[in-house]
Structure 1
């Protein structure tokens, strides 16, 4: 089966579907190729804290109705350490940009619904995907679906296929440069159908960080820092709740509404950036190009900003016959990527405990937390970055 389109999009997660949706609004033909089934994609439990820029973009492209109805707007995140010490990273006060809790699964559902309404082509359960002639004038994608080989001829390929996808692997090692920091711990996370805590909360504790997040008025997400080799079967619900509450000040712990968990998983933490994000007619976006530790809530938001820059560049190319934005895509996207990488790395260093921590390191960490609690200028600088830089 042969198809021809203007942009072939590899990966049917939020980045690929959002790019497909925006290109369609600009009259740019595209086909999405996804190796998993729709049901599998929708079962992924991922991020849920949206920057103001992400919220605005989703509204601008007609995807804000459900988000505005079900999402939880909040001014920032509360940071606690010790029994009585805390401060608020108030993005509304210091940056004029509130955040919103709205799960990635819900965003993906909204995107699939939008693509269905528009008659968008999403080829799921496609195996043996390969990219060809990405530096020539006629790139194409091959795949196998339902036992039948297929080919998509296109002008450009957008790889939105995640960290392990074929997109980045299609760039020669002589061209690609990767930067990586792997952290010596993970996050044990649970989802529960319980009302979330009033604030998003990061809690620094001698046994490790804890995080209370939100998804909807009756859906909560909680995490605790754990060893990288932790066996999830050793963490029944009762043990998780006991440990989570032990890492919070008692006044906050007493407000936690516990209940049976509906999902439980362990996520490793890493920082990763691949440069450049363009090779010939191949463009990387989202996790295909970069990974951030979830401490800064930047992963999904970075994918959205990549899509914004890339869709703008394709619009300029196809509809305005201008290629400057395509030429500058990698450099433009990477400026925001590295800013978010730095913030996520900084918060990870600040809020976690490390196996090789010395007393000196612990004292420095506590001193910085104290400084942030007492300096409005320091807190304002942190809030500006946490809110997400403008596109």
Structure 2
């Protein structure tokens, strides 16, 4: 098989890129090692920046999002009795959209066939070859046979554990990483949210987040040590701990329910440089991971896709390779700013085992400053809605 661009990974980043290229008549094949049902079953983020919303609108795939999504004009930072409202609409003139990543993926997936986007699911042993030159190719196993896709470019949208980043030689790539000494225990339940806006809470027991996926489905998280096990957290124990950490006002409005999903996710900050090697490009989690504090993961993947789609369209339409040459530097400039915001918000709102009394005093001082300074709140709001491309 021959194509212009082979995309590895059929999550939201890979599907977004595939649709944007197909919209311009560029040949694309997407290869995914998991089944479509498995991809849809992954529970991920739910807060969309303007860049993600705009890409869905550009593809004319935003109808369900605009109908079912929840526009959000602010959020809260809580610390004991202190409740700081970050009014992002008032401070920036913009807002974010609460709409689950699973739903974004579903919308992109459902439109694939009618828009001529070929997606190959259940592709085993995916491998990338000759990525340093101008004639890379991908091999994979399916139905007992080996298949090969020759392409001009390969886009690695296959996440942290995929093969794309590993195809870049160790002598070329450089890794930057911070592993945090805790994880997030999340619970998803079909209950109304306890508040109409997200609450990020710093409590002596640890961090907590009250979030939602819709007006009838809630997502909550609590900070737990890395050695905790989901089995040790029955539903009632999670709800009890949330009530303590979120405070009495949120607890009074919290509706308890049976968990649809529970999981513990470790937190890390991770960046791989460069994001381009020869004819291979990395986008999304293949190149960077952010802690979920601040909801940057999917949105950062979307900004990668925005840059990369423009570069590839310029190349195939006009023979202009400038965007391709500058893709890595352009994307990384925004990546590091988003990493900074997620890292700083994680530092501010979590209890770190080794920080002690001094670290806690720094958190209190910072939160006091945010509460008293419109400039500080505006800076947080600007980063929360997403920096401009």
Q: TM-score range by the shorter chain?
A: over 0.9
Residue in structure 1 matching 2:213, options 212, 215, 239? 215
1:377 aligns with 2:375: yes
Range with greater deviation from structure 2 (52-61 or 163-172): 52-61
Residue in structure 2 matching 1:118, options 104, 115, 120? 115
1:76 Cα deviation (Å)?
2.1
Q: Deviations over 1:96-116 (max 9, x none)?
A: 220111001001100111112
Contact map agreement 2:133 2:278 (CA 8 A) in 1: yes
Question: What secondary structure sits across from 1:6 in the alignment?
Answer: strand
1:56 Cα deviation (Å)?
1.8
Q: Deviations over 1:176-213 (max 9, x none)?
A: 00100000000000100011121111011011010011
1:91 aligns with 2:85: no
The residue that corresponds to 2:301 in the other structure is 303
Q: d(CA) in 2 for partners of 1:89 and 1:336?
A: 22
Residue in structure 1 matching 2:147, options 150, 173, 192? 150
Q: For residues 1-391 of structure 1, what are the structure 2 equivalents within 5 Å? A: 3-83=1-81, 85-196=82-193, 197-391=195-389
Aligned length: 388
1:320 Cα deviation (Å)?
1.4
Q: d(CA) in 2 for partners of 1:279 and 1:305?
A: 19
1:385 Cα deviation (Å)?
1.2
Q: d(CA) in 1 for partners of 2:50 and 2:5?
A: 28
Q: d(CA) in 1 for partners of 2:371 and 2:361?
A: 15
Q: d(CA) in 2 for partners of 1:23 and 1:259?
A: 42
Q: d(CA) in 2 for partners of 1:371 and 1:65?
A: 40
For structure 2, the 5+ residue unaligned runs are none
After the TM superposition, which parts of structure 1 deviate over 6 Å for at least 4 consecutive aligned residues? Answer: none
Range with greater deviation from structure 2 (332-341 or 112-121): 112-121
For structure 1, the 5+ residue unaligned runs are none
Q: Deviations over 1:104-131 (max 9, x none)?
A: 1001100111112213211110011111
Q: Deviations over 1:275-297 (max 9, x none)?
A: 00000000000000000000010
Contact map agreement 2:207 2:350 (CA 8 A) in 1: yes
Q: d(CA) in 2 for partners of 1:368 and 1:62?
A: 42
Contact map agreement 2:65 2:99 (CA 8 A) in 1: yes
Contact map agreement 2:134 2:278 (CA 8 A) in 1: no
